[in-house]
Amino acid sequence: MQYHSVACMHVLYLLWGFLSWFSAAFYIDINTEEYGDYDMTDYRGKWCIGESGTVYNIGDTFYPSPSACPCICTEDGPLCIKPSCPRIHPKCIRFSYQSCCPKCEALSSVCEYDGKTYQLMEEFMPSPCERCRCESNRAIYCTVTECPSVQCVNPVYEPEKCCPVCKNGPNCYAGSVIIPAGMTVKTGERTICFCTYEDGTWYIQPQALCIKQQRDVSSGKQLITNFF
């Protein structure tokens, strides 16, 4: 009886060994037949995988991650091309990426100009001739004062004032000498000069009109000979 039990156990052991060998051989044959030499870790040519593990077929368009650019699944792997993104506002201080393109999350509440900050709708003067304002779109717009023409040849720029002024009143040049407007000035023995106006206007010409006179010996009167 004891001999019979040992024989049965021996037969069962041989049977278990045969089945284990057969199962291993069958598994190898199946995997070799189905996949051949293909490396299971190399999925190129069959599909693409995103960061979340989602599988995409060849030709599918997908986003590998929420902030990534769109990709096309190809036989050589994902082909990702950055699209043309809209411009971000220059005053954007915080932004995030959505589908590859940046998206502004917050705009600055001030304007910056020449190293200084200004509140929205605040006006300021960078110089005596400029007036600027911080607009609601965070951009600064400035206007420049247009100065009128001066009526003198020696204008003066005073501090904190934009336009030059004629401190000595209207005048013009007679040669290298400045003479006041509205007066006839003798600049030589027989030469007189005076400031003239542009035809039809009140603008003074920068150069004076000078007249050279000669005495008529017969009458003793001054005669005008030429203008210069």
Domain-embedded: residue 127: yes
**Which residues are within 8 A (CB) of 211 and not within 5 positions of it... i.e. 6 or more apart?**
191, 192, 193, 224, 226, 227
Tell me which residue range forms the domain holding 138. 110-144
Structure confidence at residue 127 (pLDDT)? 92
Report the alpha-carbon distance of residue 45 to residue 39 in Å, rounded: 12
Residue type, 220: G
Q: What is the pLDDT of residues 177-200, one digit of tens each?
A: 899 988 888 887 888 898 987 765
Q: How far apart are CA 50 and CA 63, in angstroms?
A: 7
Dist. CA 146–CA 139, nearest whole Å: 23
pTM: 0.44
Percentages helix, strand, coil for the chain (3-state, rounded to 5) are: 15, 35, 50
In this prediction, residues 12-32 reach a mean pLDDT of: 45
Q: What is the CATH number of the domain that holds 139?
A: 2.10.70
Question: Within a domain: residue 198?
Answer: yes
Quick check: 27 pLDDT over 90? no
Q: Is residue 78 part of a domain?
A: no
Give per-residue pLDDT as tens, 68-115: 788 889 888 888 887 788 888 777 878 787 667 888 888 788 888 998
Confirm whether 215 is domain-assigned. yes
In a domain, 211, yes or no: yes
Read off the tokens for 132: 């600027």
Residue finishing a domain among 96, 127, 144: 144
Q: Is residue 196 in a domain? A: yes
Domain count, the chain: 2
pLDDT of residue 42: 52
Burial 117-155 (b: 16+ CB within 10 A, else e): ebeeeeebeeeeeebbbbeeebebeeeeeeeeebbbbee
Phi–psi pair at 13, nearest 5 degrees: -65, -45
Q: Is the residue at 114 inside a domain?
A: yes
In a domain, 180, yes or no: yes
